[in-house]
Structure 1
Amino acid sequence: MNTLAPDRLKELWHCVERKQLTVEEFYLSQEGLLAEHRRAWERALLLEKDKDLQETCIAELGRYLGCHERVALEEWCRGGVAAVEEEWRENVDRSDRQSVERFYDRSVAYLYDLMWWHTLRDDASPLAYVVALQFAQDHGCQRYLDFGAGVGSGGILFARHGLETVLADISSTLLRFSQWRFAIRNLPVQCIDLKIDRLPSQAFDVITAMDVFEHLYDPVAAVEELWNALKPGGFLIGRFHGEIDEQRPQHIIQDFGPTFQRLQALGGVEVWRDEWLWGHQVFQKT
């Protein structure tokens, strides 16, 4: 079984503390390890003959939306965070579940925001999907669900590596785009619109919920549904973290105590935690 990147980096830092490695050598190793993960991410998402992930993501959006103004598309992507914030503040009552869920179902700005995020230009945290894939491969997982799948990039990564992939989201806008992205890559996928359908029972070996729970009106109910969807012995991989962020008012959950309590009551056992890079956790269904 391979040592996952966060664990490897933690081990290397201990070598620094024991004077077996210099700080400079550590950061060179970290840079190299993250570069490997970046290449895996890029190989999965790049379209045929493309060499630059940013250009691929912008071109995909333009092709899907029927917009050929490349400069404008990049500006919209770079302004995605601000556009999502504006949409939220203008349209959402965070105390009203229907208002929150309607926002995600209809938002177009999220297409730009998420696609830009997945270029890795501003933030490398999407590479947590590569760590999750390696965990799933190490544990022989075959059927995979990405819950809160967004624009489908994580699912594309898993599908490229042969896992049977299912995407679930509350946003019809994002699901249509994700399904289109799979189709132009000739990758099979099943999409579940959570406004209409429920997740199948005991169907998945591994489920990811990456940067999702802080957006949910009822994360406790969500974790119950995910737990039912896992096969016995299956794994839930997610980041259960949220903090007040003026630029991201859609992060409505900061206290995950009730979610962890429910996981424990359901028999969830934490079997791994990223203690170095992004803080994701893995819970196994016992």
Structure 2
Amino acid sequence: MNILRECVCGSASDPRHSVLSELAEYHNETIEESYRKCIDWEALSIAEWKAADRSTPEGVQAFYDTTTSWRYDLAWYAYLQVTGHAFPQSIAVVRFLRSRGAKGKLLDFGSGTGLNGQVFARFGFDVTIADVSKPLLDYAIWRNARYGVDVRPVNLNEEDLPAATYDVVTAFDTLTCVSDFDATAKLLHGVLKPGGWLIANFDTRAAEDASAWHIQDNELDLDRRIRRTGFVKQHVIGGFIDCYQSVDPNTAAHGLRTLCDRTTLPLEQAGLLARRVRWPTPHRMAKAFKLLSAQR
């Protein structure tokens, strides 16, 4: 956690002030203005999303080309991790990777403001950060220069990723926001070395304004599609970060795993729905009856 704190706020004693002062300096605004945008980032992001048609991949990309609200969201989320109000995902992932002896080249796909890449670099990984959002990537580059962090930035709109190069790929809060999930899954499998690790989560949300950019909406289906591409799930961190290992998708063993996944998916989806439904238990029935009686 000390390394996470240093990556967020350097030597400053107050992580909140450090995060806000960086945002204020970068955007040439007051700390108070930066704080307001951190708190109101969601409303700002909704406004950015609604500013144009997002029904096509081109419209979605235009959003990422222009968004500034996500800088505030991700910077504030980093502050929350340092203060114990959010799950320190990069630290948890490093612990897992160390337990499996993973090292070498790491690609942080959908790197945002670059904090996770900065943490991984501090733990000895040779890090590449990649994103489709130039505003986010520009801020990450600025922060890395500020802290003297040696990571390679890649704008995914302008540069291809090399095949069979990375030992680890991380994709936090990213894969539910891509327009072509299957193509992205194949890309990530292709850039990993055989036996490499994909660490990802599926942050699916109910359809509403505040989650409009969460294009994919079924985490079980996404999990199966990732596995079908050529991955085997080996571990889950914190109940929501999946750890997949790359395998050859053309083997008989993987074909058998894919067949089993297709067979069990409907049952698992039914089980997930059942856990979400508020079934009419006797307690709930009595509560509903009491409410109706009070309204008469």
Task: Provide the rounded CA distance (Å) in 2 between the counterparts of 1:262 and 1:278.
Answer: 19
**Deviation, structure 1 residue 133:** 1.4
SS in 2 for 1:120: helix
Paired residue for 2:96?
135
Task: Provide the rounded CA distance (Å) in 1 between the counterparts of 2:78 and 2:123.
Answer: 18
Paired residue for 1:239?
201
Paired residue for 2:9?
46
Paired residue for 2:65?
105
TM-score relative to the length of structure 1:
0.80
Paired residue for 2:241?
280
Q: Does the CA contact (< 8 Å) of 1:84 and 1:113 recur in 2?
A: no
Paired residue for 1:208?
170
Aligned match of 1:221 in 172, 183, 188?
183
Aligned match of 1:73 in 10, 14, 34?
34
**Amino-acid identity (%):** 27
Task: Provide the rounded CA distance (Å) in 1 between the counterparts of 2:36 and 2:214.
Answer: 24
Paired residue for 1:179?
141
Q: Which amino acid aligns with 1:249?
A: A
**Deviation, structure 1 residue 256:** 4.1
Task: Provide the rounded CA distance (Å) in 2 between the counterparts of 1:280 and 1:232.
Answer: 21
RMSD: 1.9
Paired residue for 1:161?
123
Task: Provide the rounded CA distance (Å) in 2 between the counterparts of 1:195 and 1:258.
Answer: 27
Q: Does the CA contact (< 8 Å) of 1:244 and 1:254 recur in 2?
A: yes
Aligned match of 1:85 in 23, 33, 46?
46
TM-score relative to the length of structure 2:
0.77
Q: Which amino acid aligns with 2:91?
A: V
Q: Which amino acid aligns with 2:138?
A: R
**Deviation, structure 1 residue 257:** 4.9
Q: Which amino acid aligns with 1:269?
A: V
**Deviation, structure 1 residue 124:** 4.3
Task: Provide the rounded CA distance (Å) in 1 between the counterparts of 2:178 and 2:15.
Answer: 29
Q: Does the CA contact (< 8 Å) of 2:3 and 2:122 recur in 1?
A: no
Q: Which amino acid aligns with 1:243?
A: R
Task: Provide the rounded CA distance (Å) in 2 between the counterparts of 1:83 and 1:170.
Answer: 20
Structure 2 unaligned blocks of 5 or more: 248-296
Aligned match of 2:76 in 106, 116, 121?
116
- CA change 1:70–1:156 in 2 (3 A) is same
**Deviation, structure 1 residue 89:** 2.1
Task: Provide the rounded CA distance (Å) in 1 between the counterparts of 2:126 and 2:202.
Answer: 25
Task: Provide the rounded CA distance (Å) in 1 between the counterparts of 2:222 and 2:108.
Answer: 19
Paired residue for 1:12?
none
Deviations 1:76-133 (A, max 9, x none): 111111110121123242x300000110121111111211122117984451111111
Task: Provide the rounded CA distance (Å) in 2 between the counterparts of 1:259 and 1:210.
Answer: 14
SS in 1 for 2:49: helix
Task: Provide the rounded CA distance (Å) in 1 between the counterparts of 2:212 and 2:225.
Answer: 25
SS in 2 for 1:199: coil
Q: Does the CA contact (< 8 Å) of 2:108 and 2:130 recur in 1?
A: yes
User: Is 1:61–2:23 an aligned residue pair?
Assistant: yes
**Deviation, structure 1 residue 154:** 0.5
Paired residue for 2:256?
none
SS in 1 for 2:51: helix
Q: Which amino acid aligns with 1:42?
A: R
Work out which structure has the larger RCO, using CA pairs closer than 8 Å and 6 or more positions apart in sequence.
Answer: 1
Task: Provide the rounded CA distance (Å) in 2 between the counterparts of 1:213 and 1:155.
Answer: 17
**Deviation, structure 1 residue 183:** 0.7
Structure 1 unaligned blocks of 5 or more: 1-36
Deviations 1:127-157 (A, max 9, x none): 1111111122232312111100001111111
Deviations 1:18-73 (A, max 9, x none): xxxxxxxxxxxxxxxxxxx4x442133222x3012221111111222222x11111
Number of residues paired by the alignment? 244
